[in-house]
Structure 1
Amino acid sequence: MLEKLTKWKSSLSSQEGPKIEDVNVPRHIAIIMDGNGRWAKRKGLPRIAGHREGMKVINKVVRKADELGVEILTLYAFSTENWKRPKTEVDYLMKLPERFLNKELPMLMEKNVKVRLMGSIENLPEHTKRAVSKAVKDTEKNTGLILNFALNYGSRFELMEAVKKIANQIENGSLSAEEINESVLKENLMTAELRDPDLLIRTSGEIRLSNFMLWQVAYSEFWFTDVLWPDFDEQHLVEAIAVYQKRARRYGGV
């Protein structure tokens, strides 16, 4: 990680923009990628054009996050509420994971990136499930950055599923009600093997969580920007990390 940061800082020595420190890089960054539709509308384009452009940004963000030594990058790709959108838009959104992964899998393998999914995958179209399952399988032995896609994900659904799992454990006698604590709940979430996000980024100027990782971001640092996702680039990521590094995380202490 330090070697990557040293090379990156050297390459930026003559450039303008925020600088980040070698230490205290957020290990887990979660991003709510918002503003694709508004980006397209401002340009007089159909909404799907914004989603197509937004997909291209993922490549740049993954590369930069990997370069900076980020360990986990969680991207909110499709929520459980997004099914309410027009069918043509939903159908297009369901094709994007396949298009992205087919195109970017060589880069992900080269960068030693491990693809991971969280959400209700069973409800996705077959072509989407095949694409994401292949990416997960092909990268399962990679040991670098974890690229965690939240696909057909909603935090309330996740919490309800966790409660059901715990209830089943109590029913079959493997767990008692007295044994339920934060660790037990965490172990039954979709992020059981991941650390909680250190930094949450949301683009497009909206200041809300939109049912995203409600449990996991309890002590995350938040960074909101008016930049629409298709316009988000490496320097915006660096800016968010630079702000993060200036904050003191006290976790309720002093």
Structure 2
Amino acid sequence: MKTINELGIIFWVLIIGILTSCTRQNIAKNRIFTEDFHGILNAKRWITEIEPLPNSRVFTQNNKLVLDTKGGVTVWYNQALTGNYEILFKRKVVVADGKNDRLSDLNVFWLAQSLDNSNLFTRTGKFEDYDSLNMYYVGMGGNTNTTTRFRKYEANVQRKLLAEKNEAKYLLKSNHDYQIKIVVKDKTTSFWVDGEMFFQATDEYFPSQSYFGFRSTFSHQEIWDFKVVK
């Protein structure tokens, strides 16, 4: 016959096992997509729009997505996002001796929707091409690392400036591994950097489905550990 102490130990082992199993199931359930950028970039999963300039390319290397471009570039995640979700990834602006190494433009598009074309991915990479979209945009360290701005695009109407933070702490650091998080929850969206919320906006209307894209111009950047979670 087992003693009371032995029964107590067995009880707690069972409880810990159940909690661990539930946690694992929740993690698996909540994580709807991950990307390790292994091998050649999946052209069905990622849509690249890049200005056709010399010394410009988008590729994968060492399990990272690399944007090394002389001009504008957008890499869209080719999966419509719905409901509440978070987008998380790590990103670095490389400044060394490369031809496109410039400390500028760690940018993102999200909640993007095209009203005049069922196919969102019809643009050349030039910044002006995106004025016809409805979406949110952060330009972190724009204008050669002098501005960090939060905008709402209203298709062909305006790029509304929602907030601007140009103090040094909101600008870019070269070769720094940033942890970026974008949250869409109910009627609020927010943009986070290294655990700090930079921007937030409330909106009565979010599209029923929308798209996310990495954005930059004239820079050399690396992106990895991409996740979308519910």
TM-score bucket (shorter structure): under 0.3
User: Which protein is richer in helix relative to its size?
Assistant: 1
Q: Please give the TM-score of this superposition, normalised by the length of structure 2.
A: 0.27
Q: Please give the TM-score of this superposition, normalised by the length of structure 1.
A: 0.25
User: Which protein is richer in strand relative to its size?
Assistant: 2
